[in-house]
Structure 1
Amino acid sequence: MSSEYTVSETLDVKGQSCPMPIVKTKQAIDDLEATEVLEVIATDSGSMSDIDGWATGTDGVELLEQVEDGDVYKHYVQKTS
């Protein structure tokens, strides 16, 4: 994980498949303040492209980093507005 940001909240969606990681990520981001960072921990390999695509097409969020750690995928999403 990068030291350029601090995680404000962690969302554990391990064991859940599409579309739930995206649905729960959006709900969690809505509850954050601007500049806060959400860490999403998933086991669905599709979450890598799903969260990237969602963040790219969604105003007010930025995907900072994605990390693949074995069977676990970590996504760091910042609320920008």
Structure 2
Amino acid sequence: MTDTAADTLLDVRGLQCPLPVLRAKKALNALASGQLLEVHATDPGAVPDFKSLCAQTGHVLERQWEDGEVFGFLIRKS
């Protein structure tokens, strides 16, 4: 978890590319601009995928971390 409270938590642990990003896109579409989505993934490919997602869509990757085998992302919807 993060110090900043997310509006939505998306658990995509165990899913492989491209499912984590596709599910995150769907979750982001349901959020209002400025809201936060926290994602937990186990696919190492999620790291570059979420960076690309944010670069392409204008969403802000506020924080990225690794906790054991879990990769975490905090994304602010643009």
Q: TM-score range by the shorter chain?
A: over 0.9
| TM-score, L = length of structure 2 | 0.92
Deviation at 1:18, TM superposition (A): 0.2
In 1: Cα distance, 2:68 partner to 2:55 partner: 25
- How much is the aligned-residue C-alpha RMSD, in angstroms? 1.0
SS of the aligned residue for 2:39 comes to: strand
**Structure 1 equivalent of residue 73 of structure 2:** 75
In the alignment, what sits opposite 1:26? 25
Deviation (angstroms), 1:54: 1.0
Number of equivalences: 77
Structure 1 residues not aligned, in runs of 5+: none
2:63 is equivalent to residue 65 of structure 1: yes
CA distance in structure 2 between the partners assigned to 1:79 and 1:33 by the alignment: 7
